[in-house]
Amino acid sequence: MAAWKMAYHANCWGPLGGDAVGVTSIGRLAYRTFGDMERAAREIAAAGYEGIEFFDGNVLDDAGEPSEDVRRILSATGLDLVAVYSGANFIFADILDEELGRIERAAKAARSLGAEHLVVGGGARRLAGVRDGDYDALAAGLDKVVALAERHGLAAHYHPHLSTIVETPDQVARIFETTAIGFCPDTAHLAAAGGDPAALVRAHAARISYVHLKGWQREPFAFTPVGEGDCDNGAVIRALKEIGYEGWVCNELDAWADPAAGARESLDFVRAEAAKA
């Protein structure tokens, strides 16, 4: 598995939320894990990972600058900051500049802290349903993310996500017909939306330079360690090997009673499956 470097997302060490000020200030609405990020990093490093991914709200301080706490944590644990995850509605023209300004601040912080990748989700699903032009607006916004990421020396990736207008395989194909952004497959979200993650990896191989692996179970709905549940991550690992993927693979788990144990279990699974492949 020499061509793969393994990272883990810090989101399992506390509840996921958004900064409440974003209700009245779109430009300050960031994702955040409300937990002890130092503990998360220590346990991720102890599990055997080389890298870590944070949400945008966790890498920015109160003034919107790169977090010195995160810089200290990275130095103390020896982990590389691999990626920062952000997102936006993208389809509402009146607020797009505010959203992009916030994403650019996250990109600036990510690069300052040593990251290589910027991952974004989004494409709001309106309460009344999708309107004509929403996919075009999303694609245009994602192309602007590509440009701002390049300004900061980052590779930009789009992460299809449940509850957005890009969930299903057809929707994934549709958005990638009209934007130049890279594809960060999150295997659990793709499977839960009715897709075959391994097939999607093969179909969009040329766009993939960063990967999220996550487990998912159908009943009751839950995210799980990478090797558990109804998402065949073994098949995804084989597909990644077939397309000659090299680079960072980020395991992820949104919530787990023992986050450190979930991190170890996921890494053991990926190593074993990659060795078999």
The rounded distance, in Å, linking the Cα atoms of 267 and 277 is 15
Asked if 155 and 149 touch (Cβ cutoff 8 Å), the reply is yes
Mean pLDDT of the chain: 97
The count of other CB atoms within 10 Å of the CB of residue 194 is: 10
Q: Kindly state the average pLDDT of the residues 45-64.
A: 97
pLDDT at position 262 is 98
The rounded distance, in Å, linking the Cα atoms of 251 and 31 is 18
Strand-strand pairing, 31-33 and 16-18: antiparallel
Band of residue 255 on the pLDDT scale cut at 50, 70, 90: very high
Domains of the chain by start residue, with CATH: 4-276 (3.20.20.150)
Q: Give residue-wise pLDDT tens across range 148-167.
A: 999 999 999 999 999 999 99
Band of residue 22 on the pLDDT scale cut at 50, 70, 90: confident
Which tokens sit at 78?
């020896």
Q: Does 60 have pLDDT greater than 70?
A: yes
Q: Does 2 have pLDDT greater than 70?
A: no
How many residues are listed for the chain in this entry? 277
Band of residue 3 on the pLDDT scale cut at 50, 70, 90: confident
pLDDT at position 21 is 87
Return the residue matching tokens 């130092």.
38
Band of residue 23 on the pLDDT scale cut at 50, 70, 90: confident
Beta strands in 164-263 (DSSP E): 182-183, 211-213, 215-217, 222-224, 247-251
Q: Give residue-wise pLDDT tens across range 163-203.
A: 999 999 999 999 999 999 999 999 999 999 999 999 999 99
pLDDT at position 194 is 98
pLDDT at position 156 is 98
Cis ω before 220 (30° cut-off from 0): yes
pLDDT at position 90 is 98
pLDDT at position 20 is 86
Q: Of 124, 65, 62, nearest to 94 (Cα)? A: 124
pLDDT at position 46 is 98
Q: Does 1 have pLDDT greater than 70?
A: no
Q: Give residue-wise pLDDT tens across range 64-119.
A: 999 999 999 999 999 999 999 999 999 999 999 999 999 999 999 999 999 999 99
Rg over CA atoms, the chain: 17
pLDDT at position 141 is 98
The count of other CB atoms within 10 Å of the CB of residue 172 is: 21
pLDDT at position 264 is 98
pLDDT at position 270 is 98
Q: Of 143, 140, 194, nearest to 170 (Cα)? A: 194
Strand order in the sheet with 247-251: 182-183, 155-158, 117-122, 80-88, 51-55, 4-9, 247-251, 211-213
Which tokens sit at 86?
């952000």
